Structure 1
Amino acid sequence: MKYKLLLLDIDGTLRPGSCERVPKENAEAVCAVQKAGVKIAIATGRGRIGVGKGLLRSIRPDYWVCAGGAQLVDYKGADLALHRLTTEEMYALVDFFEDYDLPLRFTYHDANYAYLGYEEFARREREKNLALNIVDGEDQDKHLEEMPFGAFGFLSQEMADRFQEKYGYLGLNFLFSYPGSDGCDILQQGIDKGAGLRELAKLAGIDPADCVAVGDGDNDVAMLKAAGLGIAMGSGSAAAKAAADRIGPDAEPHGIAELCRALWPEAF
């Protein structure tokens, strides 16, 4: 089968954990596949604004599936689809995270606003070279201009369960990146990278069966299942591997380049 769309997670997939940017080998391989006629989409928990300049090197995606599937963007930077948090959902998150003194940020078009725990977000961002464009939003007034389309917090699974005990009727999904991680995408019911893949495929006139999705974390599971071919990195989580059709090489040192060469040898 000739696949028409390649969706790639960034952190732990395109960008191995030891690298500040996508390795040159990965970028060049993705560009070669794109030049051969395959559309490229970046599928990430980051908002579009959180993908810093230079992070992807020479890669210029045709599409973006951002904020865990809540923000779909075209190559010009125009929104194709947005799924915004409701006022009730947002206030419930702020109230809960304030009660337990937990870091919480929201994704907007211009930046990620840390409503709670800005210093903690900034510290982790520096440690992991993430460059997520996080600003101090302690005034908690950005949502008066527009509602956010993504949320992210640091908390334990126990605290996420406690939130659901109180606010489970909202249907929010706490999706941890990896087992044991305290970093958590907070998504509306029915929103994830898998739903984003299906929505993007419909907008692009492509059958999901003609898509390849590559990821490494628990938050990639829905996307790996939705694609015609789901590939989990060899260094990925157990859940990602269980959901995938195929296990690929480790992200280190440049596993995506290896995958591109294997799937589209004619591009090289």
Structure 2
Amino acid sequence: MTDAAWKPRLIALDVDGTLLNPDTGHISAAVKAAVHRAIDAGSQVVIATGRTVLGTVPVLDELDLTSGFALCSNGAVLVDVAAREAVSTETFELAPVLAELSARLPGAIFAAENLGVGNLVTAEFPPNQLEGEQRLATVDELAALRAPRLIASWIGHSPDELEERLAGVELPSCTFTLDHYEPWVTVTPKGVSKGSALEKLRAELGVPGEDTFAAGDGGNDIEMLRWAAHGVAMGQGPELVRAAADEVAGPVAEDGLPAVLDRWFR
């Protein structure tokens, strides 16, 4: 947006790599202040993340957010920030996706979100990768379930190898994105993304489409950046993400987000 009088009324923000610096594990004072300046000016800030509800609540606490909404699990779960609880959830059948991924990614391990509790896992994940309780289950046990999010971790392989293996593949009855830091596939219900969930929320809030802003750094942010009237990719994000944005900010380690938001919310 080049109109000097324009200000975003709905601001969608990714967490890891956008709000939170993965190197420190925290949100900087500059980022927190910029977010609150936008809220104080009357804009609706929506946290949009691939994290589960359990992983998002500490972020809401660190930001001191007490109202509004968060979209978790790449848009499959809508959270009331004031209550710190999910108010709507979309799920999908795991069986056909597990069959495809098990065949295409031999040796992969899986984690199915157990809403508000943790994950059902086919093997234990490192504790910093998943939020909440990890309960062991077989692939067959997962296949009998529905869930809002499924993670496949292809241990021993690189993100590039994963991307090559799944290039051009359409998994059944789901939407999936690839992580650019870890050899991870994140699977959500068909048609569900941060972008689709934000559009639904935008309409419910009555915010005009031309008054939307989004910032992110990962493959799961691409639909959100394209959805926004003004999409901002963080500087450390891969080229595919930067190409989807209207603008590229500085990296998260250099407080790239506040530098952009301060254009409208000084």
Instruction: Give your verdict on TM over 0.5.
Output: yes
Separation of aligned partners in 2, 1:7 and 1:154:
27
Alignment of 1:102 with 2:108, yes or no, is yes
Separation of aligned partners in 1, 2:59 and 2:242:
29
Unaligned ranges ≥5, structure 2: 1-5, 155-161
1:13-162 equivalences in 2 (<5 Å) = 13-53=18-58, 57-60=62-65, 62-75=68-81, 76-86=83-93, 90-96=94-100, 100-118=106-124, 121-122=125-126, 125=128, 132-138=131-137, 147-155=146-154, 156-160=162-166
Q: Cα gap change, 1:49/1:169 in structure 2, threshold over 3 Å: closer, same or farther?
A: closer
The structural deviation recorded for 1:149 is 0.8
Separation of aligned partners in 1, 2:54 and 2:175:
22
Q: How many pairs align? A: 249
Give the match for residue 172 of structure 2.
170
Unaligned ranges ≥5, structure 1: none
Q: Secondary structure at the match of 1:101?
A: coil
Whose strand proportion is higher, 1 or 2?
Answer: 2
Separation of aligned partners in 1, 2:35 and 2:114:
28
Q: Cα gap change, 1:102/1:251 in structure 2, threshold over 3 Å: closer, same or farther?
A: same
Whose helix proportion is higher, 1 or 2?
Answer: 1
Alignment of 1:8 with 2:13, yes or no, is yes
Q: Cα gap change, 1:13/1:143 in structure 2, threshold over 3 Å: closer, same or farther?
A: same
**AA at the equivalent of 1:170:** P
The structural deviation recorded for 1:175 is 0.8
The structural deviation recorded for 1:113 is 1.0
| Residues 212, 229 of structure 2: 8 Å contact kept | yes
| Residues 103, 114 of structure 1: 8 Å contact kept | no
Q: Secondary structure at the match of 2:260?
A: helix
**AA at the equivalent of 1:255:** G
Give a deviation string over 1:86-124, Cα, whole Å, max 9, x none. Answer: 2xxx02334455663312112232133142122xx225x
**AA at the equivalent of 2:121:** Y
Moved over 6 A (4+): none
Give a deviation string over 1:117-152, Cα, whole Å, max 9, x none. Answer: 22xx225x2xxxx562251232676898x8311111
Separation of aligned partners in 2, 1:115 and 1:159:
22
What is the TM-score normalised by the length of structure 1? 0.82
**AA at the equivalent of 2:48:** A
Separation of aligned partners in 2, 1:95 and 1:169:
10
**AA at the equivalent of 1:256:** L
**AA at the equivalent of 2:235:** G
What is the TM-score normalised by the length of structure 2? 0.82
| Residues 27, 56 of structure 1: 8 Å contact kept | no
The structural deviation recorded for 1:16 is 1.5
Give the match for residue 221 of structure 1.
222
| Residues 47, 108 of structure 1: 8 Å contact kept | no
Q: Secondary structure at the match of 2:108?
A: coil
The structural deviation recorded for 1:169 is 6.9
The structural deviation recorded for 1:224 is 0.3
| Residues 178, 186 of structure 2: 8 Å contact kept | yes
Separation of aligned partners in 1, 2:142 and 2:173:
24
Q: Cα gap change, 1:98/1:138 in structure 2, threshold over 3 Å: closer, same or farther?
A: farther
The structural deviation recorded for 1:42 is 0.4
Q: Secondary structure at the match of 1:263?
A: coil
